[in-house]
Chain A
């Protein structure tokens, strides 16, 4: 929060609303369809600003679409934002190099990992809230698998597209942080 300067708020807001809109796209995977979370992409593009951005996104979804409750907002933010930060830490710097051998793979790794970690964290927070939830908690990571696949490919394509069209988009956070 403190790292987010007033100068960067409009930019972070635009990006988070772009990702908010993207998360409305329903992506067909197999017989069903999923909605993207895009937390890996968010982490890589926004860096630390991803945390408040995700919080705002979830607040909006909770209040206006009725997803999730008010009390689980904190837990949900953590579940989605933590993987975003992990992706930022793991892949962010790689992404900002002048030459990326395979932007697609990098993006796919970040997208897949982000969702996978979220699935694990959701299961973990369920398991922690009571032993009764344990079996459900064990199943949830598997329900995330189709999402992981879809998300990996979509994020990979998005990253390689952005890298080709507007590489400066991926450089911005570094300049501002320094």
Chain B
């Protein structure tokens, strides 16, 4: 794992990365809301394709995308294995005493498509933003100030703490620590967690003191101004009409 934990997945410039972060947040939210209301596999496939296209446009490498999706599929698997058997309906096939129903299969398929479409669009639209930019955009959209502050500070510190963590891990490796499934490992990892807490708290005190010396009164002043360009409006309209199109298709079929 590299030092930069939350670095955005790509830095490629393109029509997508030029868009206003606020537009991207709203688009991601809108997409998610529309997708959960789609109930036909072909239309969902269309949405999934759209999300994948967005990911390509955002410059995310397919391999990276696949690796991230794999984590999601692991969780989905538990759900999907059970759904065909739990939804009543026409029998598709039998497995011992359990019957898999057509309706259940459909339900499982829909859930899988939906989850993937939402996650891909999220990674494409927001995952490529710098975390700090995301924080600023959230505050411009009216998210409570304190939450934004917490977000910005957390983002700032994650890298710092992660570097500390890597230092500690290296020290453990130097002493030939190999994680195993035993009490010794768990206790050691507990101490590691404790040490991280203690050190980072100490550090936060120093930081707060230093910031107070420089006139910090508990607020960060967000200076970045985003310019909502005509292009942003166009893209907003296009995105909205695409989403509406999906809903219309859903309604008609």
Query: Which chain A residues have a beta carbon within 8 Å of chain B's beta carbons?
Result: 1, 4-7, 9-22, 24-31, 36, 38, 41, 45, 52-53, 55-57, 59-60, 62-67, 69-71, 107, 126, 131-136, 139-140, 143, 150, 153-162, 165-166, 169, 172
Are the C-beta atoms of B185 and A56 separated by less than 8 Å?
Answer: no
Are the C-beta atoms of A59 and B151 separated by less than 8 Å?
Answer: yes
Q: Which residues of B contact A55 (CB under 8 A)?
A: 147
Taking the complex as formed, is B123 at the interface, i.e. its CB lies under 8 A from any CB of chain A? yes
Q: How many A-B residue pairs have CB under 8 A?
A: 227
A73 CB, min distance to chain B CBs, angstroms: 10
Most buried by A among B6, B104, B150, B201: B150
Are the C-beta atoms of B147 and A1 separated by less than 8 Å?
Answer: yes
Are the C-beta atoms of A56 and B150 separated by less than 8 Å?
Answer: yes
Q: B192-209, CB under 8 A of A: which get 1 and which 0?
A: 111111101111110110
Most buried by A among B68, B131, B197, B211: B197
Q: Which residues of B contact A161 (CB under 8 A)?
A: 190-191, 194-195
Are the C-beta atoms of A134 and B181 separated by less than 8 Å?
Answer: no
Are the C-beta atoms of A70 and B29 separated by less than 8 Å?
Answer: yes
Assembly CA distance A56 to B148 (angstroms) = 9
**20 further interface pairs, Cβ-Cβ under 8 Å (given A16-B154, A160-B190):** A11-B208, A13-B157, A13-B204, A17-B158, A20-B158, A21-B162, A24-B1, A41-B193, A52-B146, A60-B154, A63-B127, A64-B6, A64-B9, A66-B72, A132-B107, A133-B83, A133-B86, A136-B81, A153-B183, A159-B194
Q: Is the interface of B mostly helix, strand, loop or mixed?
A: helix
Q: Is the interface of A mostly helix, strand, loop or mixed?
A: helix
Across the A-B interface, the 10 shortest Cβ-Cβ residue pairs? A157-B190, A6-B218, A13-B153, A161-B194, A14-B204, A17-B157, A153-B186, A158-B194, A136-B82, A154-B190
Query: Which chain B residues have a beta carbon within 8 Å of chain A's beta carbons?
Result: 1, 5-6, 8-9, 28-29, 32-33, 36, 68-69, 71-72, 78-79, 81-83, 85-87, 104, 107, 115, 118-119, 122-123, 126-127, 129, 131, 134, 144, 146-147, 149-158, 160-162, 165, 179-181, 183, 185-198, 200-205, 207-208, 211, 217-219
